């Protein structure tokens, strides 16, 4: 397989050790790319679900692949999350190719980047399991559910009313999280902020375009990553069709990969700190 050369890749919320982790799909993705910098933005290992021999052979293959990428020249930043916060006690730690941090700052073409997992701004980590589960569902599906429930006007269906109430709470939770992160980034004079944590992949401008907010999503349900190449950030979505073997005489154009939500800010890679 010809690997795609990328300058920066950000993934988050892999949850190795948890049953829901899509390790096979992630392994395919990692084997298909060759980034200069790979940012693991928290909850890569799920210590909350860790038991003896918790990592299956598929999950261990992810770690082996990451080490292989390091050997191939990729610089890896591992940022702590709330499910792997055990590494916060070892941060900061510098190795030649693997660097542990709680947050990361990049300067790209005079634009200040702030990258961190995001749980420090989650006032509702202790929120009900309903909201935690709904946080795994992408924003667009929550909106669809909300619209569907708007069309159902049956007051006697108390379950429907309760469901709609929970969906609205989840939507508010996502909105509030994104808003407080963007406002704090603006206050600290960052131009771009990149998070994980809430499992809602997106690239968008916020606060009247003063801040660009990005979320890498997860490898539990959305199977997404943020990619930076050719002065542009893109949101990549895994599709098994991208990895289907084809004739050696055929090539799938990169433009046909499941990449969306592009923002072309005309950046060039600068220094990292």
Q: pLDDT: is 30 or 147 the higher one?
A: 30
Nearest 5°: phi and psi at 87? -75, -10
Pick the CATH number of 4-122+193-263 from 3.60.21.10, 3.40.1160.10, 3.40.50.2300, 3.90.400.10: 3.60.21.10
The strand pair at 111-116 and 103-108 is best described as antiparallel
Nearest-angstrom CA–CA distance, 146 and 158: 15
Nearest-angstrom CA–CA distance, 180 and 245: 44
Nearest 5°: phi and psi at 53? 55, 35
- Average pLDDT on 1-13 reads 94
Q: In this structure, are residues 167 and 181 in contact, taking their beta carbons and an 8 Å threshold?
A: no
- 228 forms beta bridges with 8, 233
pLDDT at 252 exceeding the cut of 60: no
CB atoms within 10 A of CB 14: 27
pLDDT digits (tens, 9 = 90+) for 214-225: 999 999 889 999
Domain spans, the chain: 4-122+193-263
pLDDT band at 102 (very low <50, low <70, confident <90, very high): confident
pTM of the prediction? 0.75
pLDDT band at 122 (very low <50, low <70, confident <90, very high): confident
Q: Strand order of the sheet with strand 224-229?
A: 93-94, 98-101, 75-79, 33-41, 4-11, 224-229, 232-237, 259-263
Beta-strand ranges (E) seen in the chain are 4-11, 33-41, 75-79, 93-94, 98-101, 103-108, 111-116, 192-195, 202-206, 211-215, 224-229, 232-237, 259-263
pLDDT digits (tens, 9 = 90+) for 130-181: 444 444 444 445 555 655 666 665 544 455 556 666 777 778 888 999 999 9
pLDDT at 188 exceeding the cut of 60: yes
- 237 forms beta bridges with 224
Nearest-angstrom CA–CA distance, 79 and 61: 20
134 closest CA partner among 170, 103, 159? 170
């Amino acid at each position: 397989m010809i690997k795609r050369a990328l300058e920066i890749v950000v993934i988050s919320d892999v949850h190795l050790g948890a049953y829901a982790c899509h390790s096979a799909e992630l392994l395919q993705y990692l084997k298909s790319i060759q980034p200069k910098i790979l940012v693991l933005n928290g909850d890569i290992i799920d210590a909350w679900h860790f038991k003896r021999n918790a990592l299956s052979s598929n999950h261990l293959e992810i770690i082996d692949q990451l080490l292989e990428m390091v050997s191939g020249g990729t610089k890896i930043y591992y940022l702590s999350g709330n499910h792997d916060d055990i590494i916060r006690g070892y941060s900061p730690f510098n190795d030649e190719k693997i660097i542990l941090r709680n947050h990361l700052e990049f300067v790209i073409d005079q634009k200040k980047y702030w990258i961190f997992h995001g749980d420090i701004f989650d006032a509702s980590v202790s929120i009900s399991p309903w909201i935690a589960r709904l946080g795994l569902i992408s924003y667009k599906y929550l909106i669809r559910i909300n619209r569907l429930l708007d069309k159902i006007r049956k007051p006697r269906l108390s379950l429907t009313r309760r469901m709609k109430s929970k969906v609205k709470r989840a939507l508010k939770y996502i909105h509030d999280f994104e808003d407080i992160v963007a406002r704090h980034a603006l206050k600290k004079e960052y131009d771009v902020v990149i998070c994980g944590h809430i499992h809602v992949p997106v690239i968008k401008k916020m606060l009247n375009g003063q801040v660009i907010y990005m979320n890498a999503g997860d490898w539990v349900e959305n199977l997404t990553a943020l990619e930076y190449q050719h002065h542009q950030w893109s949101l990549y979505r895994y599709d098994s069709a991208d990895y289907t073997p084809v004739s050696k005489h055929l090539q799938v154009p990169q433009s046909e990969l499941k990449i969306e939500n592009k923002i072309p800010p005309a950046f060039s890679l600068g220094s990292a700190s």
